[in-house]
Amino acid sequence: MHNYIVMPITPKLIEKLKSTFKGTYLLYPIIIIFAIPLLLIINTVWNLKNFNRDINFLLRHQAVSVTDTIKPQIVRSLNDGSDLSTFLNETKASNSEILSISVVKETDNKVSITASTQDAIDLANLEKMGLNQLAVGFNQPVAGLSYDPLVGKNVWNVSVPIGKMGSDNYLLLLKYRIDKVEEILGRTARDSYIILAGLILATIFLLINHFIFFRKAQKTRELEELDRLKDEFISMAAHELKAPITGLIGYLELLREELTAEEKIKFAEDFNVLTLLIDNLNKLINDLLDVSRIEQGRFKIEVKDTNIPLVVEEVIKSLQPLINEKGLVLNFNPGENIPSVKTDPDRIRQIVTNLISNAVKYTLKGNIDVAVSQKDKFVQIEVKDSGIGIPAEELPNLFTKFHRVKDKQTIEVRGTGLGLWITKQIVERLGGKIGVESIYGTGSKFVFTLPLAV
């Protein structure tokens, strides 16, 4: 009973998990997009907080230092009864950062003003802050930052115990200006937030670009995988077709041998058509196999000492019936003292066969000139025809896969558009280069080179 329930559910569950985690590649960019700006914000706020703390520490230290400097004179004034208010005003005038200086007397937890540079003092706010109690209790200066409603700004309040005279505790209260510092802090904070905003925008922009490129790279990988599967399919299909074609050629030859002389004459044209069709199909299969081998890196090159003029001459002899059938004249110049080349003779044969076959296909009448020569450290092979030529706009794509010249004179010419692409790939794998010159309506000249020392 359990098996019948689990078996249908398990595949569905697996597919659901796959679909759930299929988009996990999105998680990384999303986390980064939010994490980096958040970290930048935290870093900026933290730095501003530390900067503000350090500035406040320096201000408090400065306020306490000023208070310690004037404390001895205040003690003397309290002892000898001299004019304390004048001294306090003079001290305030000498330091632009001081807002007010007051001498406070504390008796039985009640605060009163002995002398001050400020006309009105908010005693209730002073008692609320508790600086006096702390200063007396710890017998050391105590500073605190608070908002002063009389000034309308934040100020440093520094309370310094002067000493006890009789039953009274005397304290020095100093209000210290911080508006310049606040201006610096405000400007620094504003600049920091502007830079932060710029960094966040730049980060988001870069991450969006990264995400776009990531998607494109993923698409590219998918296309590459499809291309690989296509190549494997073509290779497999070509291999599977190769055996029946070989068998068909064998049976066709066997059938030809069993015919009488009269039957051979009677069916000669039919046999020629069949042979031509089989040859075309065989060439197509070979081209597809070569494309597959080249793209999968399985294309074999067997290097040996090669007599280039001799190989070219053998190709010409094999194609002579085709040349004669079209009424063309082929001129061959083997060159003089052409040295041997370390290369693959079978691949050279394949290259020359492709070039001369094309020349025959696209030359309606006239000549085909084939020449071998030495140019510096290269052997050069040239195939020139007086055919229909190639339009200038077709030349850039001539060596690409499946490209065929679009011309009314070439509509009936059979071909896959793979021959020149394969030819170029082979030439480059042999260390050479191939090029073409053509004038439409006049003819074409294909030239490829091979290095003398590989």
Residue spans of the domains in the chain: they are 80-177, 227-293, 304-451
Instruction: Give the mean pLDDT of 80-104.
Output: 81
Mean predicted lDDT score pLDDT of the chain = 77
Stated pTM of the model:
0.49
> What is the pLDDT at residue 228?
73
Instruction: Give the mean pLDDT of 386-405.
Output: 83
Q: Are 98 and 176 in contact (CB under 8 A)?
A: yes
Whether 379 shows a pLDDT value over 70: the answer reads yes
> What is the pLDDT at residue 59?
63
> What is the pLDDT at residue 242?
65
> What is the pLDDT at residue 103?
84
Do 227-293 and 80-177 fall under one CATH topology? no
Whether 28 shows a pLDDT value over 70: the answer reads no
Whether 49 shows a pLDDT value over 60: the answer reads yes
C-alpha to C-alpha distances, 51 to 55, 120, 153, 243, 431, nearest whole angstrom: 6, 33, 20, 83, 66
* 338-339-341 Cα angle (round to 5): 120
For the record, the structure tokens of 440 come out as 């439409």
Q: Are 33 and 204 in contact (CB under 8 A)?
A: yes
Task: Report the interhelical angle of 308-325 vs 345-361 (nearest 10°).
Answer: 30
Whether 360 shows a pLDDT value over 80: the answer reads yes
Whether 366 shows a pLDDT value over 80: the answer reads yes
How many residues are listed for the chain in this entry? 454
Give the lowest-confidence range in 20-34, 139-153, 296-310, 325-339. Answer: 20-34
> What is the pLDDT at residue 17?
45
Q: Are 381 and 447 in contact (CB under 8 A)?
A: yes
Whether 1 shows a pLDDT value over 70: the answer reads no
* 258-262-265 Cα angle (round to 5): 95
- For domain 227-293, which architecture applies? Orthogonal Bundle (1.10)
203-213 pLDDT, tens digit per residue, is 778 777 777 88
Amino acid identity of 303?
A: V
Instruction: Give the mean pLDDT of 46-70.
Output: 72
C-alpha to C-alpha distances, 129 to 40, 108, 132, 139, 451, nearest whole angstrom: 36, 18, 8, 17, 95
Of 49 and 348, more confident: 348
> What is the pLDDT at residue 3?
42
Nearest to 155 by CA among 182, 136, 185, 115: 182
447 three-state secondary structure: strand
From 3.40.50.2000, 3.30.450.20, 3.30.360.10, 3.20.20.70, which CATH number describes the 80-177 domain? 3.30.450.20
Whether 132 shows a pLDDT value over 60: the answer reads yes
> What is the pLDDT at residue 107?
78
Banded pLDDT at 7 (limits 50, 70, 90):
very low
Of 181 and 23, more confident: 181
280-317 pLDDT, tens digit per residue, is 777 777 777 777 777 777 788 889 999 999 999 999 99
> What is the pLDDT at residue 247?
76
If one looks up domain 304-451 in CATH, what number appears?
3.30.565.10
